[in-house]
Amino acid sequence: MISVLNPGIYCTIQDLGRTGFAHVGVPVSGAMDLHSASIGNQLLNNKRTAAVLEIPFGGCKLQFEKELTICLTGADFNPTVNGELMALNSVFKVPKGAVLSFGSQRYGVRTYLCVLGGFDTEKVFKSRSYYKGVTAGSYLQKGEVLNVGFNEPLKQQSYAKIKVDLQHFLTNEIQASKGPEFELLSDKEQNTLLNTLFTVSKDNNRMGYQLEELIGNNLKPILTSAVLPGTVQLTPSGKLIILMRDCQVTGGYPRVLQLSEAAISTLGQKTAGDEVRFLLK
């Protein structure tokens, strides 16, 4: 059990997401940086589907109500346990009563707290990922107590750790393939789309990231059709919107690019002012 001393902002429980319910309009959700969340579960020998806590901007303070085996992955916000600086991407035990908090940013945006056995919060439509209107919880609340799954001891007390490739956090290259409406862009528009260094706008969240630089275009809206996490929409005003994990299942703006799975995870570690460039594959 873990008590929330300070909920931070927009901390959510996440897993691989809620697939199979798009036909009733339910978004996929899931960890924004699925890559980093998966590393934590692998190091702990958890199931792939184990739920983790997504912590943007190191904004929460938690207390462990019993001894737990944990692993922090993703963004580095100088995490401390009882004031002692902890390494990321390594498995360690925290004693009962210990307090986890975060300091200033070193890299990335979203940190993942992974626990042995995964978080055992409410499961709706086969997933624990928070989504307002689907799960009772939409964000972490002060005073909330999070249950942890069956804490089976690790087979080997290896205290595994790995060195992650920091390029995942530092690169500004975002891999993408052509979206269904890419070919409707003129050659010039395609070139601008692929050769501009874009800035992430302050309008960025789990639903989508808007970019600041505009792509003037004459594309007509499309009849409402499917969109996916990673779909890059182009609005009539020229604004690009990159849909993220909590995006709606359908949309009406032309879909010019589709991010790779890895690129969605990379973008999930970016915030306002960060720069990105699309790399067509």
Partner 1 sequence: MLNQLTYKTFGKNAILIEWPAIISEEILVDIIAYKSKIERLLKLQDIVVGYNSILLVYNFEIVKFQSKVAFLKELYFQKGVTSTIPGTHWRVPVCYDPRFGVDLAFVSKHKNMSIETLVQRHTKVVYKVFFIGFLPGFLYLGGLNPEIAMPRKKTPRLRVPKGAVAIGGNQTGVYPAESSGGWNIIGNSPLPFFEIDKITPCFAKTGDAISFESVSFDVYTSIKAQIENKTYQLKKIK
Calculate ∠ Cα 110-65-122, nearest 5°: 60
Instruction: Report in angstroms how near the CB of residue 129 gets to partner 1 at its nearest.
Output: 13
Residue 124 Ramachandran class (φ > 0 left, ψ -120 to 50 alpha, else beta): beta
Question: Are 59 and 102 a contacting pair, CB within 8 Å?
Answer: yes
- 3-state class (DSSP) for residue 49: coil
Q: Residue 26 or residue 174: which is nearer to partner 1 going by CB?
A: 26
The side-by-side arrangement of strands in the sheet containing 91-94 is 12-14, 52-56, 107-115, 68-76, 91-94
Rounded CA gap, 63 and 218, in Å?
Answer: 54
Q: Residue 85 or residue 223: which is nearer to partner 1 going by CB?
A: 223
Instruction: Report in angstroms how near the CB of residue 159 gets to partner 1 at its nearest.
Output: 34
Q: Residue 155 or residue 281: which is nearer to partner 1 going by CB?
A: 281
Strand pairing partners for 198? 276
Instruction: Report in angstroms how near the CB of residue 22 gets to partner 1 at its nearest.
Output: 4
Dig out the tokens for 128 from the structure. Answer: 């624990």
Rounded CA gap, 248 and 17, in Å?
Answer: 13
**Pairing mode of beta strands 173-178, 275-280:** parallel
Rounded CA gap, 141 and 4, in Å?
Answer: 7
Calculate ∠ Cα 120-124-127, nearest 5°: 65
Rounded CA gap, 202 and 209, in Å?
Answer: 8
Q: Residue 111 or residue 265: which is nearer to partner 1 going by CB?
A: 265
Instruction: Report in angstroms how near the CB of residue 233 gets to partner 1 at its nearest.
Output: 13
Instruction: Report in angstroms how near the CB of residue 213 gets to partner 1 at its nearest.
Output: 24
Dig out the tokens for 110 from the structure. Answer: 């979203």
Which residues are near partner 1 by CB under 8 A? 19-27, 124-125, 133-134, 177, 179-180, 222-226, 228, 230, 248-251, 255, 258-261
Is residue 268 classed exposed, middle or buried when 0-12, 13-18 and 19+ CB atoms within 10 A define those classes?
A: buried
Instruction: Report in angstroms how near the CB of residue 124 gets to partner 1 at its nearest.
Output: 5
Q: Residue 191 or residue 225: which is nearer to partner 1 going by CB?
A: 225
Q: Residue 34 or residue 115: which is nearer to partner 1 going by CB?
A: 34
Instruction: Report in angstroms how near the CB of residue 19 gets to partner 1 at its nearest.
Output: 5
Q: Residue 22 or residue 164: which is nearer to partner 1 going by CB?
A: 22
- Identify the residue whose tokens are 């626990």: 115
